[in-house]
Amino acid sequence: MVLLILTWINTLFSMLSTLFTLIFVRPKPEDLAKDKVEMAKSIVELKKLGLDFVVNLLERIQAMTEALQPFFIELNLVNLLVLMVGAVSALLMYRRNILGFHLYIVYNLASVGSIYLFVSPSVLPSIIIIVNSAFSLLFVLLYARHLTWLKAED
């Protein structure tokens, strides 16, 4: 039950955040240019410190951000759809329907892989995919541990 509550909190908060972003937070070109300048300053400072790994990560995040910008609405709508799948899967699991678990696996795969609809894999920092995949795997395994509860009769 704790996992279900955590899943609902996460998906509902993320859905509200995505809706808020869609409605109110579309970045303006001048804001993007200002952010790019600030990122360039940070990169120069980090190069001076010899933090090449962080520099590479920031450069790839900047490239990813620029590549995603033309797909702002589409990306957020896909994210919203994926989050709805997550909420429905938790609801099905709450009702002890095993289909909810399978849908939850689809939700996790889609949440990690949906960004590839808009950006080339070469642009994405691997650490983002690795961390998201690790959290997804963790929660799928936690749910899998309780499959007997899902299969149990009321």
User: Mind listing the pLDDT tens digit for each residue in 16-68?
Assistant: 999 998 888 877 778 878 888 888 888 888 888 888 888 888 888 888 888 88
Burial of 23 (0-12, 13-18, 19+ CB in 10 A): exposed
Is the pLDDT reported for residue 8 higher than 50? yes
Q: Which domain holds residue 119?
A: 2-151
The residue with greater pLDDT, 78 or 147, is 78
Quote the number of domains for the chain: 1
pLDDT in tens, 64-92: 888 888 898 999 999 999 999 999 999 99
The count of other CB atoms within 10 Å of the CB of residue 127 is 12
The pLDDT score that the predictor gives to residue 137 is 92
Average pLDDT, the chain: 86
Alpha helices in the chain (DSSP H): 2-24, 29-49, 52-68, 72-94, 98-113, 126-145, 147-151
Query: In Å, how far from its chain's centre is CA 109?
Result: 10
What CA–CA distance (Å, rounded) separates 100 from 140? 11
Q: Scanning the structure block, which residue is given the tokens 């120069």?
A: 44
Distances from the Cα of 69 to the Cαs of 8, 79, 112, 128, in angstroms?
28, 15, 19, 18
The SS3 call for residue 47 is helix
**For the residues 86-101, what does the mean pLDDT come to?**
89
Q: Which position has the higher pLDDT, 154 or 10?
A: 10
Residue 154 has a pLDDT of 46
- The mean pLDDT value for 86-109 works out to 90
